[in-house]
Amino acid sequence: MKIVISGGGTGGHIYPAITIANQIKSMEPTAEITFVGTEHGLEKNIVPRYGYPLKFITVAGFERHLSVGTMISGMKLLVGLKDARSLLKEIKPDLVIGTGGYVCGPVLFWAAQMGIPTCIQEQNAMPGVTNKILSHFVDIICLGYNEGAQYFSGRARKIFTGNPVRQEILKDEREDGFVKFSLDKAKKTILVFGGSRGARSINNAMLELEKAMAGRTDVQILHATGELDYEKYKAQLAPEAQAAENIKVVPYLHEMPLALSVADLAIARSGAIGLAELLVKGIPAILIPYPYATANHQEFNARAIAKAGAAEVILDKELTGMLLREKVEQLLTKPDTLAAMHTAAQKLSRPEAAKEIAQSALSLVKTK
């Protein structure tokens, strides 16, 4: 069986694709899986690390206003359509899966036109433009959020699967996590992260929270600032917080599965895959959506989680150190509320999402 998986640009599209590919390989060990991306996306560096072949096409995203850049993108799209058609003719796949990003457009469009079974996985509660267009051509859409279904008007069959979570996230590594980060298992642990590059607005608010929490005997903080802001943040951090054993500030969390295993409360952005990982671990969260995400999809994600009772939301424009401190203090003094949020998160989680997506996609080939 030959399978093409297309998804790129950001880790939010690439890592779900890799998780789905790994799941398919566990179910169909002889499957030949080829990734398709662009030379300018993160996939160029990420995909080869997982041992999958990667092919490139030329395509670029559109600006949301008429400009020279829009015209250049249009020309690249025409080239991308030609590249995608040639690539599909060369590989002759039995199945094509898309996980988002503008690179999916030409690949999934031509696959559908050529009669190849097609499936897209939409991670967000507010779908991207490319996937909305593709819904008129592909066979199946696997939804990360039920709320996303209303935005697809195409012919594709919609299946709610949830978002795929890496296998290592599902492991119980709490004891190892305390050891790895030199944390005290008797204290409540607050995990703070803003995505792979960090989040400056969250870091600014954390300066006040960590100053207030320094030396507390009941709570500890594990905070990833992002590598770009780490040195500046450390210089701004109050001396008492710098010296406190219960405040751990790091540039990046390479062992995120271990960090999630020890968290009792998270302060984070609301990217779809990060949220899926929080939910599957049952971690209550204070979510601060990235305000410049395409179509404001992070706020839609966060609102869906909050509606289910698993999180509270603070908009980036409203975020201050004082407000964040108040929210955290309130939750720490209400163990029943944290317990209810934990239960709501677990109910909302979909630990079998990768398996369901793989089964749904493979069923297209087996019933062809």
Whether residues 127 and 177 share a domain: the answer is: no
Q: Angle at CA 64, nearest 5°, toward 60 and 68?
A: 65
- The single-letter code of the amino acid at 27 is M
Q: Are 55 and 204 members of one domain?
A: no
Q: Which tens digit of pLDDT belongs to each residue from 323-336? A: 999 999 999 999 99
Identify whether residues 184 and 137 lie together within a single domain.
no
Looking at the structure, do residues 129 and 30 belong to the same domain, yes or no?
A: yes
Handedness of CA 45, 202, 61, 100 (dihedral sign): positive
Instruction: Determine the number of helices (DSSP H) and then strands (DSSP E) in the chain.
Output: 15, 13
41 pLDDT more than 90: no
Look at residue 368 and tell me whether its pLDDT is greater than 90.
Answer: no
User: Over the stretch 115-127, which tens digit does the pLDDT of each residue have?
Assistant: 999 999 999 999 9
Specify whether 290 is located in the same domain as 334. yes
Q: Which residues form the domain of 250?
A: 168-348
With a pLDDT cut of 90, the percent of the chain lying above it is 79
Q: Are residues 184 and 158 in the same domain?
A: no
CB 248 within 8 A of CB 181: yes
Percent of the chain as helix, strand, coil, to the nearest 5: 50, 15, 35
pLDDT surpassing 80 at residue 67: no
Residues 297 and 177 grouped into a single domain: yes
CATH number at residue 16: 3.40.50.2000
Both 334 and 358 in one domain: the answer is no
Domain identity same for 328 and 203: yes
330 and 186, same domain (yes or no) = yes
pLDDT at residue 42, rounded to an integer: 87
The count of structural domains within the chain is 2
Both 178 and 242 in one domain: the answer is yes
Residue 70 and residue 15 share a domain: yes
Task: Report the alpha-carbon distance of residue 26 to residue 39 in Å, rounded.
Answer: 28
